[in-house]
Structure 1
């Protein structure tokens, strides 16, 4: 059997046996374990494990693990706010530039001369009766125009996820349209913008589903950000994704970009006096504290 359920009392006992310093009152520990969960907290005490038996480095405190957990929570909330800002801007640019090019075809996203077949084969399954029914403006459109098979892109895309919007961009056949859009972000090659967007969709989804962010691994890796150096030249970490986000935000609103930077600094500076978390932040996020 892969594993057995363990009582809260045994969970606490196991942590103590593995060398965790339980520097929090037991009632609070019970509350934490019932709230967050033993397994989930394991992602946050993993950096402190020293062997295959999951023993902890000497002096590892439960309070430090909890601090790391809440750093991750705050980081998720912060990033999703600004990624949502990017999502709105990108949706607007996609709708505007593509619609201007293909005017008066308001449903260009369904046109086989405009979109790749790989994308079009999924349209019917996505844009179905349920989609029309649950999205009020789409429902109203089809009630008013019963002969229309699809609603205009500016109505339809309001109900697309960030990932779905990025897939539309990915599958536009005309590279000149894709270039026009990526130039709005001071990027010359559509492939680079595509990489940034795919990365940030992944980060956004991880944030939305309460994924572990501080230790996030991005399989594809982030394309080079103009004028920016990644932490340890490693393009697969959250650090590289944040730098891609900052670059895009700077081309949307320098004020929003500066705002995000300041909030990141404020968040990470909370741990300037916590040597253990400070070390994790520097290694994982590439943020270096002033000594």
Structure 2
């Protein structure tokens, strides 16, 4: 049987018993716990735990836990803007180059001669009645063209998830087209391009679903190349993922890349004098202050 629910007062007593310094006062702590939640906030005092009983190291402040939570939230917001720009740009490249190459086949994404059998077979699970109903241009297309199984690529792909679009790109039989798209981002190796896309998607999904970002660990090690030199000890770190994101963004918009980089640097600089948070930025995120 699982643990029973606890009141906010009980949660505060539990934190005090684990060596948490409630420096914001109990009233403010109650407000925060009812806003963010004890369970979610627990991910942010986890770095301060010293044993399996969740006891905290001496000097752990509740205010620092809250600051770490908002650091994580703000970083997700900053990266989300960059990731959205990359997602739209990548969709545009895929639609443009493949649609123009197969200009007599507007629904090339469902053609087994062009795309892998596995992708084509699974596409109806994406292109459901709900998909058609919930995306107005798709709905209007089928209202005007009732005999069409699918709307053209330039309509359909706009409403696919980033993960589905990447999967479609990787499912193309024509490697020359894949290379042409990769080269738009200054990358010649398809293996490296796939590695970087997978990294971007991993961070994008964390940001989109409000998951924990600051101690994210990419399952796939990020490849080091002459384009982006990745420290062997940081191949799975968030700081390296951020470098990949900024590299792609710079290929799309130099000004936006500068803006995002400044936003991230300014965010981290706020904690230069906070030893507890700055250690997490350096050791967990892998970012040099």
TM-score (normalizing by structure 1): 0.96
C-alpha distance in structure 1 between counterparts of 2:155 and 2:228, whole Å: 37
| Contact 1:225-1:243 within 8 A present in 2 as well | no
Aligned partners of 1:231 and 1:285 also within 8 Å? no
Corresponding residue for residue 157 of structure 2: 157
- The within-5 A match list for 1:84-233 is 84-230=84-230, 233=233
Q: For residue 244 of structure 1, what is the aligned residue in structure 2?
A: 244
Q: Deviations over 1:15-38 (max 9, x none)?
A: 111111110121111111111111
Query: Which whole-Å CA distance do the structure 1 matches of 2:61 and 2:252 have between them?
Result: 42
**Deviation, structure 1 residue 227:** 4.0
In structure 2, what is the Cα distance between the partners aligned to 1:113 and 1:187? 26
CA contact (8 A) 1:250 1:257 kept: yes
SS at match of 1:236: coil
Instruction: Identify the residue that residue 4 of structure 1 maps to in structure 2.
Output: 4
Cα shift at 1:263: 0.8
- Name the count of aligned residue pairs: 289
**Secondary structure at the counterpart of residue 184 of structure 2:** helix
Q: How far apart are the structure 2 equivalents of 1:64 and 1:46?
A: 12
Q: Which runs of 4+ in 1 moved over 6 A?
A: none
Which stretch shows the higher mean deviation, 70-79 or 95-104?
A: 95-104
- What is the CA distance between 1:262 and its match in structure 2? 0.8
Gaps of at least 5 residues in structure 1 are: none
Q: Deviations over 1:86-136 (max 9, x none)?
A: 001000000011112111211110111000011111112221322222211
Query: Where do residues 56-67 of structure 1 align in structure 2 (5 Å cutoff)?
Result: 56-67=56-67
Query: Is the CA contact (8 Å cut-off) linking 1:230 and 1:239 kept in structure 2?
Result: no
Q: Distance in 2 between matches of 1:127 and 1:259?
A: 37
| TM-superposed deviation, 1:156 | 0.5
For residues 208-228 of structure 1, give each alpha carbon's deviation from its aligned partner in whole angstroms, at most 9, with x where no partner exists: 111110001111122225443
User: In the alignment, is the contact (CA less than 8 A) between 2:214 and 2:284 conserved in 1?
Assistant: yes
Match of 1:26 in 2: 26
